[in-house]
A and B are shown apart, each in its own frame.
Chain A
């Protein structure tokens, strides 16, 4: 086995389960989430279990580090479905000692009432979608829960699980720096040891996206305010010891989301469920896997025994993906790993330029962004991203 076949070990091995249903569609959300009146939970359970079987056969004996129920709204899953899946997973792979099982939950009272059952089913970490800590903004974001419900849900979560995180979105309509800073300070008081803090992004194909295009989504921050909000966020979190370990994720040390770290460290992960993506190294090839996006198409495809689509990732693809994912981390990338993985060196002119502009730092093997560089991360990545031509003649055979 050569270096490439083993590269994924630098990131680990995880399993992502996508649950594609929600109570209502939020106007900013472009996730693969759907609102339906009825869900045949047993049928879905069977499909997930069948898929786990199939992937397990291809990766026998691999140690699984994490699993993650994401959505959509996985807190709409019956706890026994969650339980059956977890049990199946434990039978299918050896798991690491610190095996992490996260479930994304919405903070309505109904869902919070199920937290204990999820814990009993084996979930050991929740990520609660709080989004805002005031009712006016929650309403504008189309959320179904209130501020009080959210606070209660966090409390219940902290009692039920060893590890709890919650999500907030900022850069909302008409949000001032002062109001965000007090909201965030309060959130830190409520938080355990992990927070995800996302700047609201207006995505194409969402209700917000449509309104934005016709100029009817007002009060969004301009670039300066947006930068300011990001900087405040870093400051407040740093003071509270919740350092950013990724662009939008903050944690006390050792409290990071281990599952998400697999993505950012460019490890292997299986993606099961409608529209789920995976990265899987098999026989020295790294595949990108992608399932059918439509929930019912996915279901019948699985039931019909059909496989998801797989694309071999070229060295150029992997190089770009590694940069794209790992530069999001505060710790950055390993230069050595990059060189080994791609058989190419990073462009030294570009590195010199980025350093001279104080956009990146290099400390021995690690290359990471500076605070300034992180704010323009996409441009930094693009600058470092190798031209495809570089790879054309040098595609290593594995």
Chain B
């Protein structure tokens, strides 16, 4: 157990790719926490997907021992948080467990949208901030400009900023010293009843559920019987430890310390992030102020390409959900796609990560349907229905009005691309709230319908700004608008998986775009296929996919049988991967691609 004055708890906030993980690696290495020979890049990014995409998805923790220039031994606890907007919630809860943050800004890039979003969370959590300007080894590095931006845009003093290169190690020592000198030590009382904050929890195949805790008051010891204050459940603690970054068992955790416990807890769902943990006997009376639980905001259907794999999919989803309380699912049946699951995610990246993991770790090929948000459908009888799936839209005669979720989006973009960004936001039904400049870059704030953003907004933004824009958002609330359900009919049959909610004023344009897209995506058949968009019973757009006119092999003799047969088999196998609607085969990628808007 460590004396409070010798503990420093901190996190690192940064825009994606500004070097958060690399800096964490250097801190770990410089302090000898990990032997050089065990050093691999991005130590804290444990999942394959994290390493591969170079993004941090889950918060990770490491305890670092550091002997400072003043000769004292300190314990530094670092929580590495995700940088992506989808995981803002993970960031916020991790922030509450520490007293300070390193604000990392790539000195070749400057402040970006996620820098802002994350730094505001740190300020919300009353953090002391140490600005760190990274990548000074690069010729494009411009520390003065970044310092100016930090002061102008964020409004904090940048005079103490530390220039570093997480790549070469330059400045790392100074960072360690600043952590010790600038960041406050945690407060807490050793003799008080135990109050531990449940920061995170996840499932481990060997140890069961592992709970990450920050001790506020009191002492947590092996063998304690702990109580979850939210529901009163009691668990005997069988293991206590810290991460360095591997797990290391210790006997107790005192105030200010961060570590883990295991207590034969079966499911991650039995642990509520933000809960207060105390002891069964002589426990605390009042819990710590809690977090709001994370809520999925984006929904889509996941269906196995091969219907026979439905049970495997269920299994995979259940396993993933064990470790990810923010992801929700329920069974869905689609006339078009058979049995699958309607899943809820924190955002699109979260969706992609889960989908990738199912395909990769469980080897199940998936059809993903159009992402949708939650609409509030107000019925004439005064009740309200949460609509997760356009296919479930109630009969219009009973509906009074609809509300959709809105967001406040912050976009930072070089001046040159501002026009394109404004147009994009305008096209997506955005309402401009603010437009200011930070140097040669504009900061635009828009009120947008989430529905217009979940699908391909970020891709479009990247493409119209050649990757120079950064983007972040937060949910603001619900607002009424004229929203309708648009159906797509292929060969006169409605395809439920292609139904979408659209704004009435955009319906014709959307419908036309979707019909045109589908016309390209669906292979020609032996007959002509009408593709229509409809609202209620009314057709608002129509395309016709012409019939295949010629598909015949000119020459086929005895020597050709084997080869031609293989070709046919291949074609047939390709068809099997498509979905049949009546007599029409629709390729699986069509369900997503049909929605992509080019303009």
Contacts and interface: CB of A to CB of B under 8 A. Distances in A.
Nearest to B569: A320
Contacts of B526: 357, 359, 376, 379-380, 383
A223 B547 CA distance: 11
Contact of B552 (A18, A262, A376, A383): A376
B551 A377 contact: yes
Interface in A70-104: 70
B206 interface: no
Contacts of B559: 16, 18, 271, 275-277
B68 to A, nearest CB: 66
Given A379-B526, A380-B526, A277 B562 contact: yes
A201 interface: yes
Interface in B549-581: 549-559, 561-562, 564-565, 568-569, 571-572, 575-576
A376 B556 contact: no
B572 A385 contact: yes
A387 B576 CA distance: 10
Contact of A247 (B554, B565, B571): B554
Interface string A254-293: 0000001011000001010001111100000000101000
B192 to A, nearest CB: 68
A230 interface: yes
B568 to A, nearest CB: 6
A106 to B, nearest CB: 17
Interface in B103-147: none
Contact of B575 (A278, A324, A328, A382): A382
B555 to A, nearest CB: 6
Interface string B415-459: 000000000000000000000000000000000000000000000
Contact of B558 (A271, A376, A381): A271
A375 B557 contact: no
Nearest to A32: B559
A325 B575 CA distance: 21
Contacts of A260: 557
A379 B555 contact: no
A321 B556 CA distance: 11
Contacts of A277: 558-559, 561-562
Given A376-B550, A376-B551, A328 B583 contact: no
Residue among B551, B552, B554, B571 with max Cβ neighbours from chain A (10 Å): B552
A375 B552 CA distance: 6
A201 B554 contact: yes
Contacts of B583: 353
Interface string B502-524: 00000000000000000000000
Contact of B550 (A16, A227, A276, A325): A227
Interface string B241-285: 000000000000000000000000000000000000000000000
B553 A247 contact: yes
B362 interface: no
Contacts of B557: 70, 260, 263
B498 to A, nearest CB: 23
Nearest to A369: B552
Nearest to B558: A263
A16 B561 CA distance: 14
Contact of B548 (A376, A385, A387): A376
Contact of A226 (B550, B558, B561): B550
Interface in A354-388: 357, 359, 374-383, 385, 387
A212 interface: no
B588 to A, nearest CB: 18
B527 interface: yes
A378 B552 contact: yes
Interface string A142-155: 00000000000000
Given A288-B562, A321-B561, A376-B526, A382 B571 contact: yes
Given A263-B558, A353-B583, A324 B568 contact: yes
A120 to B, nearest CB: 27
A321 B565 contact: yes
A51 interface: no
A59 B97 CA distance: 86
Contacts of A224: 549
Contacts of B575: 382
A245 interface: no
B551 A325 contact: no
A324 B556 contact: yes
B552 A16 contact: no
B118 to A, nearest CB: 50
A378 B562 contact: no
Contacts of B562: 277, 288, 290
A239 B298 CA distance: 66
B556 to A, nearest CB: 6
Nearest to A198: B554
Given A324-B565, A359-B526, A379 B558 contact: no
Interface string B23-40: 000000000000000000
Contact of A325 (B552, B561, B572): B561
A378 B553 contact: yes
A198 B568 contact: no
Interface in A171-197: none
Interface in A273-324: 275-279, 288, 290, 317, 320-321, 324
B558 A16 contact: yes
A373 to B, nearest CB: 8
B549 A375 contact: yes
Given A321-B561, A353-B583, A385 B568 contact: yes
A320 B549 contact: no
A353 B549 CA distance: 17
A369 B526 CA distance: 13
Contact of A376 (B549, B561, B569): B549
A359 B525 CA distance: 12
A248 interface: yes
A275 B568 CA distance: 21
A339 interface: no
A317 B565 CA distance: 9
B46 to A, nearest CB: 41
Contacts of A320: 565, 568-569
A317 B564 CA distance: 12
A223 B550 contact: yes
Contacts of A324: 556, 561, 564-565, 568
Interface string A331-356: 00000000000000000000001000
A205 to B, nearest CB: 12
Contacts of A198: 554-555
A357 B547 CA distance: 11
A395 interface: no
A41 interface: no
Nearest to A353: B583
A279 B561 CA distance: 10
A127 to B, nearest CB: 11
Given A247-B553, A376-B552, A382 B568 contact: yes
Nearest to B583: A353
Given A248-B555, A378-B571, 9 more contacts: A16-B558, A198-B554, A198-B555, A201-B555, A263-B558, A276-B559, A288-B562, A353-B583, A379-B548
18 contacts: A198-B554, A199-B554, A224-B549, A230-B550, A247-B556, A260-B557, A262-B558, A263-B558, A278-B558, A320-B569, A324-B565, A328-B556, A353-B583, A376-B551, A378-B571, A380-B526, A381-B568, A382-B575
Interface of A: 16, 18, 70, 198-201, 223-224, 226-227, 230, 247-248, 260, 262-263, 269, 271, 275-279, 288, 290, 317, 320-321, 324-325, 328, 353, 357, 359, 374-383, 385, 387
